[in-house]
Amino acid sequence: MPRDTRSAEKPVGVIAPAGDGVVRTREGVSGPSQQSIWRNRNFLLLWLAQAISQTAQNAIWFGIVVLVQRVSNSSTQLSLAVLTLIIPSVVFGVLAGVYVDRWDKRTVLIATTLIGGAIAFLYTGFGLVAHLPLSLLLVINFVFSTVGQFFAPAETAMIPAVVPRSRLLQANSLFHLTFTASQLVGLVVLGPLLAKVGGVDGLFVSMSAAIVLCGALVWPLPSSRGGHDPRVPATEEEAIRGVWQDVRDIWQFVFRDRVVALAMVQWTIGAILGLVVATLVPGFAERLLHVHAEDAVFVMAPAGIGMVAGTALLNRWGERLEKHFLTNLGLFTVAACLFLTGGLAFVTAWLTQANPPLIEMPTLGEVSVLVPPIMLLALIAGFGFVAIMVPAQTFLQERAPVELRGRVFAVQLMLSNFASILPLLLLGGLADLIGVDRTLLLIGVLIAFAGAVSVRIAPGEAPWRQRHARVE
């Protein structure tokens, strides 16, 4: 699904010289600077609006995946649906900040929640009216995601208007943590639960109402319209020129050092891989595991557990492992898990689909006996995914000059969204043509090849070799 770029971009309305670590704002706030953010009513309203709207949005994305899989049973159509949610972040992500900088942020927050809730309600039409074209759903996706591009910068720019300078770091950290948690809750817990209890239509109705509720939450917030900051682009042309200048600066920084370029490529591979696998999973679950599309997320839920556990382990013991070694290990781990997942499904299908079948495979109720081993592989792949993303991002943070650090990750996220367009189109169509199992096999081989190239450029040092060197 589309990824949030707020944590990497410089918030609209906040001017932060990266060298001194002091955040200066155009829009000050009154009140004691040491007051806890939990006793700040305006901040709590803004935070609740973010938590509810992001969770509802992720639940809606889950509903869209289930709806498209049910109607089309096509990985290609599902890829197109995901693309219509991603493309607005590439096309409008930069320009949205330009407009938000000119407008009253409170008005933008209210308008985007009301409009977004109304658009989300339109998805229920696919359950009430038979044979609506999927092209209409793609249009709704595009408009829904476009509206969301304006909510994010307005929300980020509102933070310094309601939080004192001394609490900005704490507030921004909480917002970032809430965004991450909302993905897990919306996609893995709330979305599947609502789809089971009230059907996909019930999911869309309840979540559209939740988004509209966020408009009521932000209504009491203060107006936030300041004079234009000369350091923020004033026109669309300036914004576009600024983005291209950022891309050129980042290009020069990255490709001066092939190891830095490798870290950027590794991070991008991980980001694209997450989207591609999320697109292929529903078809894989329905066709090969005999699991309904709305239950497919539970098959892959161990991957989320692996990512959380892997992050915790890296926070505790990550400093003991060399970053390049860890990233290479992650690439080969994910490659092996994808190859085994596709291979198990391929071999099982070959053994059971002959006439007569070569072997009778037992089942677990109505689902395939392959579900437990696939869940185990998903758990291991979650660890591998973290081992790719975290060290690569850390390496870029360490190498990036202070004045480029924020732009590196803003441009990186934008370019990774852009770079995911072609793989989503190609691999979705390939899955329909040759099967999801063979497509996963192919992706596993490609990731293993990327791992081999990575080892060639930056092999890293295994921990047992580090211990041997210390002994000598």
pLDDT of residue 121: 93
- One-letter identity of residue 73: N
Contacts of residue 380, Cβ cutoff 8 Å, sequence gap at least 6: 306, 333, 337
Would you say 8 and 176 are in contact if contact means Cβ atoms under 8 Å apart?
Answer: no
Q: Which two tokens stand for residue 472?
A: 């000598």
Q: Which two tokens stand for residue 348?
A: 């099982």
In the structure, what pLDDT confidence band is assigned to residue 9 with cuts at 50, 70 and 90? very low
Would you say 461 and 470 are in contact if contact means Cβ atoms under 8 Å apart?
Answer: no
In the structure, what pLDDT confidence band is assigned to residue 334 with cuts at 50, 70 and 90? very high
| Distance between start and end Cα atoms, the chain | 49
- One-letter identity of residue 146: T
pLDDT of residue 355: 59
The Cα–Cα gap between 236 and 241 comes to 9
pLDDT of residue 277: 82
Q: What is the pLDDT of residues 59-105, one digit of tens each?
A: 998 889 888 888 888 888 888 998 898 888 877 766 776 677 678 88
The Cα–Cα gap between 466 and 323 comes to 13
Q: Does domain 238-472 have CATH number 1.20.1250.20?
A: yes
Domain 1-234: CATH class, spelled out: mainly alpha
pLDDT of residue 166: 75
pLDDT exceeds 90 at position 335: yes
- One-letter identity of residue 389: M
> Residue range 410-437: average pLDDT?
81
pLDDT of residue 428: 83
What is the secondary structure of 61-100 as a DSSP string? HHHHHHHHHHHH--HHHHHHHHHHHHHHHHHTHHHHHHHH
Q: Which two tokens stand for residue 377?
A: 């592989």
The Cα–Cα gap between 340 and 237 comes to 49
**Helix and strand element counts for the chain (H, E):** 17, 4
Contacts of residue 298, Cβ cutoff 8 Å, sequence gap at least 6: 188, 192, 291
In the structure, what pLDDT confidence band is assigned to residue 296 with cuts at 50, 70 and 90? confident
The Cα–Cα gap between 122 and 204 comes to 8
Q: What is the pLDDT of residues 215-238, one digit of tens each?
A: 999 999 988 765 444 555 555 566
Kind and range of the H or E element at 27? Answer: none
The mean pLDDT value of the chain amounts to 78
Q: Which two tokens stand for residue 345?
A: 């499904």
Radius of gyration (Cα) for the chain, nearest Å?
23
Tally Cβ neighbours within 10 Å of residue 142. 17
pLDDT of residue 338: 94
pLDDT exceeds 60 at position 370: yes
Q: Hey, which residues does 363 pair with through a beta bridge?
A: 368
Looking at per-residue confidence, does 309 or 333 come out higher?
A: 333
What percent of the chain stands above pLDDT 70? 76
Half-sphere exposure of 470 toward its Cβ, with a 13 Å CA cutoff? 8
Max CA separation in the chain (angstroms): 78
In the structure, what pLDDT confidence band is assigned to residue 116 with cuts at 50, 70 and 90? very high
| Placement of tokens 């600077």 in the chain | 33
Structural domain spans, the chain = 1-234, 238-472
Tally Cβ neighbours within 10 Å of residue 419. 15
> Residue range 300-316: average pLDDT?
80
| Short-list 122, 189, 196, 159, CA closest to 40 | 159
Q: What are phi and psi of 352, to 5 degrees?
A: -105, -15
| Placement of tokens 């917030």 in the chain | 221
Looking at per-residue confidence, does 352 or 382 come out higher?
A: 382
